[in-house]
Structure 1
Amino acid sequence: MASQSRTTNSIKCAMNRFVFESSKIAELKRKAASESVKMPTRVEAITSLIWKCVTKASRSNLMGPRSAVMYVAVDLRLKVPSSVLSPDAIGNLQTAFFLKKDAESEVEIQETVAAFRTAKEEVDKMLKDNVQSNTLGQGLLNMMGSQASVFKPDIDIYTTSSWLGKPFYGVDFGWGSPVWMGSATHTVYDKLVYVSLMDSKDGEGVEAWINIPAEVMSVFVHDQELLAYAVLNPPITI
C-alpha cells in the first residue's frame, strides 16, 4: 500500500516519458469528443487520458479508493491584454483550476474533457470581467482563496502543466538550438503527481513527462488503454 505520510522523503517517486504521435493524438481526440465538446484540444484529450490511467493505478495500490483532484496550471501571460501586462514584463503570471473526483467515482475521458473545457471558460470569464473593471489582481486572489480548501491530506493531488507551443527548440544561446528538450521535477508530497506536456521536436507529437510514486508507476506503465495511444520512453532521434 502506498504511504499516507505527507513528508517529502516518505516515498520514492519515478519519472517516465510517454510519447504521443500525431496520428494517435488525432485518434484520442476523436475518442474524447462528445456533444459537450465536439473538438477537444490535444491538451484536453491527453491530460484526461493520463488522469484516468494514473487514478486507476493509484487506487489499485490503496486499501480503499481516495478522492482525487486534478490541479491544472494556466498561463495568463498570453490571455491578459498588453495594455494591462507588457509583453516585456519579467516573471510568471498564472492561476489554476481544479477538477475533482469523489473516491467512488470513475474517471471517464469524455466527462473529464467536458469539465476541463468548462473550467477553462470560467477562468477566461473571470479574466474578462476583472480586466474590464481593473480588478484583475483581486480576482486572482479571490480565486486562489477559494481553491485553498481543496488541499487536504486525504485527497490525491494531480498537478498538470502544458508547455505546448513554447518555442524551446528555437532558443539559441550562441551554441546552436537544442537537439532535444526534456523535463525533470520532484514531488513535494508523496501523493502529488506532476505531469508536464511538451512538444516533440518535429512539432507534431507530444511528450508527456510523468512523475508519480514508484509503486503507482509500476502499474501505470502497463495500462493498455494508455499504451494504445502512447509509447513508453522511445529512442531519442538526434
Structure 2
Amino acid sequence: MIAIVASYCVVPNEETPETRLWLSDNDQVVRSGHTPTIYIYKAKHSNNTTERIRNSLGNILVPYYPLAGRLSLAESGRMELDCSAKGVTFLEAETTKSMSDYGDFSPSESIKELVPKIDYLTAKQVEKLKKKANEQPVKEGSRYYSRFEAITAHIWRCASKARELDEKQPTLVWFNADIRTRLIPPLPRNYFGNALAATVTPKCYVGEIMGKPLSYAAEKVREAIEMLSNEYIRSQQEMVLGQEELDCIKAFFMGQGERSLAPFQGNPNIHVTSWMSMPVYEADFGWGKPIYFGLAYVVSHDRALILLSPEGDGSVIVSMHFQIAHMQLFKKFFYEHI
C-alpha cells in the first residue's frame, strides 16, 4: 500500500518572466492532460532526500519557467500558456513494499495500477527481426527496414494471430512520428513543444499480415512514415484544429476533463509508440540511472510501447497494453516467430 506523506507546491527559485506564450496548432490538437510516466530507481535514501529534490526542481524551473505556469483559454478559443510561476505539485509518498515485490513489472495484484505487460527482446533477437524483415529484396533505391519498422511489423503480426480474426478483416497500425525535421522550415533544436503528427498504415487485411513475409508488414509501416511530408502535416493540422477541437478545449477548461475513451469493444488495429530515441534513462535525480521506465497508466485500446532497455546493450522492451484473453497467445507468437 502506498501512503502520501506530504504534498508541496514547488515554484522557481528565482524570479521568472511573467508572460503569455502562444501555443502552436500542434499543441492545440494533442491530449490536454499529462502523459503519466514512472521511473524506478534503486536509491539509498538520506534524511534530506526530499528537500534536495525540491530544491533541484526549483532550480530547473528557472530556465524552464513555462513548466511552472498554467494552461489558459484565450478569447479565440485556443489554449495559451500563462507563465505565472505558480509552480508544480510534488508529492512525497512511502510504501512498505520492496523492489522484489514488483518482479519484472508484469501484471500482478501489487502493480496492476502501475504498469502494463512487459516483454523483452535481446539485442540478438532485435537483429534477427531486422534480418527477417529484410530477407525479401527491397525496392530499388530504398534503404533496409529499420529496427522500428521490423519490431512494429512483428507486433502487428503477433497481435493479428493472437486475436484469431477472420483473414478478410481489415487491419491497420497507427502511430505518431517526430516532425521536427519534416517541416519546412524545420523546427529549431531547442523547441520543446509538441512535435508529433499521427499517421496510419495503408489498408490491408489480417490474412495478408499473417500469411505474407514480415517485410510486407514492414513495408506498410514505412509507407505510413513516408506519408508525413510537410504538406501532409500542415493540412492535417488545419483539418484537425476545427470547431470540434476548439469545443473540446473549451470543455476541458470548464472542468469537463479530457475526452473520454469509449469502452473497448474489440479492435483489429493497434497503436504503436516508439520512445527508442528518447534519453529516458538519463533522468538522474541523484540515484544514478533508473532501472525501469514506462507508462504509468493503462489505455483502453490495444497499444504497444517500444523502449530501449536500461542496460544500453541494444536490447528492447515492448510494453503491451493488450486484452487479457489474447495475451498468452500474443506472448507465444511474440517469441516463437523471431
Q: What TM-score comes out, normalization by structure 2 length?
A: 0.50
1:163 aligned partner: 275
Shift in alpha-carbon separation, 1:93–1:38, aligned structure 2, 3 A: closer
Percent identity, aligned pairs only, is 22
Hey, what's the Cα distance between the residues in 2 that align with 1:32 and 1:143? 34
Say yes or no: does 1:86 pair with 2:182. Answer: no
Shift in alpha-carbon separation, 1:217–1:89, aligned structure 2, 3 A: same
Task: Work out whether residues 116 and 298 of structure 2, in 8 Å CA contact, stay in contact via their aligned partners in 1.
Answer: no
What are the Cα deviations for residues 90-124 of structure 1, in whole angstroms up to 9, with x where unaligned?
Answer: 4322112212333554434110111222221221x
1:193 aligned partner: 302
Which of 81, 95, 114 is 2:219 aligned to?
A: 114
Task: Work out whether residues 185 and 211 of structure 1, in 8 Å CA contact, stay in contact via their aligned partners in 2.
Answer: no
2:117 aligned partner: 16
Hey, what's the Cα distance between the residues in 2 that align with 1:227 and 1:84? 39
Q: 1:221 is aligned with what amino acid?
A: K
Q: 1:15 is aligned with what amino acid?
A: P
> Which structure is higher in RCO with an 8 Å CA cutoff and minimum separation 6?
1
1:67 aligned partner: 170
Shift in alpha-carbon separation, 1:50–1:162, aligned structure 2, 3 A: same
Aligned counterparts, 1:28-43, within 5 A? 28-33=129-134, 34-36=136-138, 39-43=144-148
The total of aligned residue pairs comes to 197
Hey, what's the Cα distance between the residues in 1 that align with 2:152 and 2:220? 12
Hey, what's the Cα distance between the residues in 2 that align with 1:173 and 1:87? 24
Say yes or no: does 1:47 pair with 2:152. Answer: yes
Say yes or no: does 1:212 pair with 2:313. Answer: no
Hey, what's the Cα distance between the residues in 1 that align with 2:317 and 2:172? 22
Report the Cα offset of residue 154 of structure 1: 7.8
What are the Cα deviations for residues 163-213 of structure 1, in whole angstroms up to 9, with x where unaligned?
Answer: 00211111223443323323344223xxx2110000011221110001111
Hey, what's the Cα distance between the residues in 2 that align with 1:102 and 1:137? 29
Secondary structure at 1:110's aligned position in 2?
helix
Shift in alpha-carbon separation, 1:228–1:154, aligned structure 2, 3 A: closer
Structure 2, gaps ≥5 residues long: 1-111, 243-264
2:199 aligned partner: 97
Hey, what's the Cα distance between the residues in 1 that align with 2:238 and 2:161? 33
Q: 1:110 is aligned with what amino acid?
A: S
2:100 aligned partner: none
Hey, what's the Cα distance between the residues in 2 that align with 1:20 and 1:209? 11
Secondary structure at 1:201's aligned position in 2?
coil
Hey, what's the Cα distance between the residues in 1 that align with 2:238 and 2:266? 25
What are the Cα deviations for residues 112-137 of structure 1, in whole angstroms up to 9, with x where unaligned?
Answer: 111222221221xx22x57xxxxx63
Say yes or no: does 1:227 pair with 2:335. Answer: yes
Q: 1:101 is aligned with what amino acid?
A: C
Shift in alpha-carbon separation, 1:92–1:43, aligned structure 2, 3 A: same
Task: Work out whether residues 123 and 315 of structure 2, in 8 Å CA contact, stay in contact via their aligned partners in 1.
Answer: yes
